[in-house]
Chain A
Amino acid sequence: GAVVSQHPSRVICKSGTSVKIECRSLDFQATTMFWYRQFPKQSLMLMATSNEGSKATYEQGVEKDKFLINHASLTLSTLTVTSAHPEDSSFYICSARLALAGAQETQYFGPGTRLLVL
C-alpha cells in the first residue's frame, strides 16, 4: 500500500524556537495533504488542509501564522510550528490523499511526530 513518512519522529525543543515537521508521500503524488494534532488521551483534530501550489486551508481556531504550512511539491508538505510553547506539545500526524482515476480516493496517514516543548 501507499506509504507516508514523517520526519522527525520526535523532537524536543526550547520554548520560543520554531520546529519544522515534514510529511512525504513516498510512492505516490498527493495534491492534498492534511495535518492533525492529537493531545494525550484525545482524538485527532484536523488543523489544516494543505494543497500543492496554493495556500493551506485552516480549521477554525487554528492560527495560520503560528502553524505555517508549505506544500512544496506533490510529495512534500511541511508544518512549521513557530515560536513553540509548552502548550504546543502534542502528537502531529499528517495524511496524504491518493486519487486514482476511476477509483475511490484514499487517505494514508503518516506515523506521527511527537513534539515536546520545554
Chain B
Amino acid sequence: SQQGEEDPQALSIQEGENATMNCSYKTSINNLQWYRQNSGRGLVHLILIRSNEREKHSGRLRVTLDTSKKSSSLLITASRAADTASYFCATDGIGDDKIIFGKGTRLHILP
C-alpha cells in the first residue's frame, strides 16, 4: 500500500529556478522523510522531519510539514542540472515500523 501522494508527478524547470514538490499522506505519522533517486539507482536520504517539527533546512533544501493538513513540501532552491532525479516522500505511521513511500515526483532541470 502507498501512503503518500506527491504532486506534481513530473516537473520541468530551468536551471537556477526553485523547485517545489508536495506530498500528502493519510494517517498520523511519527516522521516524514524525503529521498532522491537518480534513474536506475538506489535511494539517497535527503532529510527527515519529525511530526512535532514544522520546518527544516539542509543546504538548498527546505522541508515543511503540516500535520493538520497531512502534507509536506520539499523546496529545492537555485536548482542545478544534478538535481534531476525522482523525489519521494516516505512516512512511518504511529505504532507502525514500516516506511511507506509516495508515488514520487520526477524533476527535470533544463540547462
Contact = CB atoms under 8 A, between A and B. Distances in A.
Interface of A: 32, 34, 36, 41-46, 49, 59-60, 91, 93, 95, 97, 104-105, 107, 109-112, 114
Given A59-B1, A109-B35, 6 more contacts: A43-B101, A43-B103, A43-B104, A44-B43, A104-B31, A105-B97
A34 B1 contact: no
Contacts of B98: 34, 46, 49
Given A59-B1, A105-B97, A43 B102 contact: yes
Q: Which range contains the number of B residues in contact with the other chain?
A: 20 to 34
B88 interface: yes
16 contacts: A34-B99, A42-B103, A42-B104, A43-B2, A43-B88, A43-B101, A44-B43, A45-B2, A46-B100, A104-B31, A105-B97, A109-B43, A109-B45, A111-B41, A111-B42, A112-B42
